[in-house]
Structure 1
Amino acid sequence: MTATSTSAANGRENGSTGACATSCRSGYGLKVNEEKSAVDRPWKRQFLGFSFYKHRGVRIRLAPKSLKRVKDKLRTLTDRNRSQSMEDRIRCLNAYLRGWVGYYALSDARSAFERLEGWLKRRLRACVWRQWKRVRTRFRELRALGLPEWVVYQLANSRKGPWRMAGGPLNSALGDAYWRAQGLISLTECYEATRQSWRTAGCGPACPVV
């Protein structure tokens, strides 16, 4: 594209933006922030925490800034230095996650939700390991999980830090079933359930085929 055509395209875009802003002000009495407004391809813009991509049309996904914000919030709620029982920690997490999923379930982002859930559970496993400070406590808690004695001995005497332990050795011992028993909601399941409720609300409950 030449400099002349680029300038012309930018001029048309700015003109379209200005026309839309004028229409909104005169027709609806709305104030338009022209610095944040533009006429552009959807996949080049972000809107209310969402971004867009091309796949058989235009689809919705989580904006990178939204993922960063939720991770920052979850880091605060799962801070290992925070003096808080796991029960209270999970209660705070559930309250926050339900609201967050209820908003962002609009996006086509199952894989992003799965990765975020895995990352969150790793942080929680690190919190648990930090709480089990003494070797004696680790032996007792690991045995209560029904692990083989040799695994209990190996894990309880490990000198790895909480984050390293949470990423490997504790992954199976404190897996999905463990967190479900602790009352933690599943991000992925909540995401799917929310989207399914929207689908059935739009077309009525599904009926069995006989």
Structure 2
Amino acid sequence: MFADSPQGGDDGRRSDASENRPWLLHTAKRKTTAGPAARAADPDRLLEEVASEANLARALLNVIRNKGAPGVDGQTVEEAEAQAPRLLAVLRRDLLAERFRPGDIRRVWIPKPGGGQRGLGIPNVVTRVVQQAVLQVLEPIYEPSFHTSSHGFRPNRGAHTAIAEATGYLEAGYRVVVDLDLAKFFDRVHHQRLLDRMSQRITDRRVLNLVRRMLKAAVVMPDGTRVAVEEGTPQGGPLSPLLSNIVLDEFDQELARRGLRFVRYADDANIFVRSERAGIRIMASLRRFLEHRLRLQINEEKSAVRKPEQVHFLGFRFLCNDRASPNTGITLSDKAKRAVMNTIRELTPPNWGRSINSCMEALSRYLNGWIAHYRLCTPEAARELGAIDAHVRRRLRAIIVRQRKRSRFLYRHLLARKISKKAAAGAAYCGKGSWVKSNRPGMTKAYPPAWFCERMVSLKTRWSELNTPRVSDQLTLAL
């Protein structure tokens, strides 16, 4: 970290972060020190482009938009924005003088959907700005040469394009999948090998040295222990995804050289072949390539030669049961179903103390985003989406039951909702807990599906809306 930065020697004067936003926007619109033409003509001066005022301003704006937690130093993005002009001036000076030193990385652990924990490395805000600035310069250099079957962490690509390409291979008759998962990939990237590969395209040694210093930044564990880093590119920083794609592009090019059909998203890759025998042979060959050439390990528990129905990829599962039909169904993976159920459980706690409407609002915000990701599901998923909707309604009814506290209060409440005395008594006085009462006829009549659909998102309905062409699109196709 630079000595007289806002982290190292703040003079105590703070300005409102919002006051600097116009300045940042104006500065970010300026031309960079070296545009694409200059970069091609003088590749030895990439650091000047990284450290240009406009590039750093754009980097800070991107870090602000992405928000994120503070690093080891505790500085927030709001504090960085409040000091933007001075912060960027010091950053520019220290980068050009090669005095910038990344701060330590804060290690945090987050639960994985399938169980266990995933380690993230959170750089401090200033380091994130520098990583973002480097990303903005290096990504245009590497992006055109990346393979088209690589979909993770790339502009205009993502899970949807990956699933679409995979579906195309399955429908073309490649219905055996070599399902590869790399073991602890982000923790095992070999630093020198990565830098050697980067040096084939990046001749500015100053940029390579900057990347090296960021890779070698020490990690501070949750207990405060400071650990030196010898390998890996920790998830959590803006530059890590690009570096991972640079490493695995060699794998992509090897698959392409062999004429294989594949889809890769980060450290998950599916190779599509026509027979199980071919899949077994390819799995053995790729294991040797990954271990000996890239120094990476296959996750043996998660990797195998599988039928499409057994593959869980990016939260989706493929359905190709009918060999006579080329069509491929897309539904939810088991892991995706468990994850959404767990989140619904967290958003509908038994002790919910606010109004039921506020609970439905929180659920709607989450479910809207969730179904946007899973809109690629085909009609085969309708039953599963309907089952999730029913589960949501039942949990909400259970909250309504618990909020009435006593059976007689629930009985009066149901009568007020025009439920017959018999049905109301059957729900209120059944002698069971709130979960059983939530599914009794008195409760389901008082709060039918239509009542919830008027007030919150229905996954099945929203999925149908997302997959129904707009009238304007239908007219265009007709013409």
Both proteins in one fold, TM over 0.5: yes
**How is 1:166-181 mapped onto 2 (pairs within 5 angstroms)?**
166-169=438-441, 170-181=443-454
Q: Deviations over 1:54-75 (max 9, x none)?
A: 1423321111000000000001
Corresponding position: 1:140 with 2:412: yes
1:1-210 alignment, distance < 5 Å: 10-15=280-285, 35=299, 41-54=307-320, 55=322, 56-57=325-326, 58-108=328-378, 109-169=381-441, 170-181=443-454, 183-196=455-468, 199-200=469-470, 204-206=473-475
Give the Cα separation in 1 of the matches to 2:465 and 2:277: 48
Q: 1:137 to 1:46 in 2, by over 3 A?
A: same
Q: Closer, same or farther in 2 for the Cα pair 1:142/1:47, shift >3 Å?
A: same
2:385–2:459: 8 Å Cα contact kept in structure 1? yes
Q: Secondary structure of the residue that 2:370 maps to in structure 1?
A: helix
Shift of 1:154: 3.9
SS in 2 for 1:12: helix
- The 1:121–1:10 alpha-carbon spacing in structure 2 relative to 1, beyond 3 Å, is same
Q: Measure, in 1, the Cα distance between the counterparts of 2:419 and 2:279.
A: 66
SS at match of 1:68: helix
Superposed CA deviations along residues 11-58 of structure 1, whole A, max 9, x for unmatched, are 333336778x8xxx9xxxxxx985477775433322111111214233
Q: Supply the distance in 2 between the matched residues of 1:152 and 1:41 (Cα, whole angstroms).
A: 50
Give aligned pairs, total: 191
Residue ranges of structure 1 left out of the alignment (5+ in a row): 1-5, 26-31
Over 3 Å counting, the alpha-carbon distance change for 1:18 and 1:158 in structure 2 is: same
Identity of aligned residues (%): 26
Tell me if structure 2 keeps the 8 A contact 1:97–1:187.
Answer: yes
TM (norm. structure 2) is 0.36
Partner of 2:180: none
Higher helix share: 1
Q: Mean alpha-carbon deviation: is it higher for 40-49 or for 137-146?
A: 40-49
Flag the 1:33–1:85 CA change in 2: closer, same or farther, 3 A.
Answer: farther
Q: What is the SS of the residue equivalent to 2:474?
A: coil
Q: Which has the larger radius of gyration?
A: 2
8 Å Cα contact 2:279/2:305 also seen in 1: no
RMSD over aligned Cα atoms: 3.3
More strand per residue: 1 or 2? Answer: 2
Q: Which stretches in structure 2 are left out of the alignment for 5+ residues?
A: 1-275
What SS does the aligned partner of 2:319 have? Answer: strand
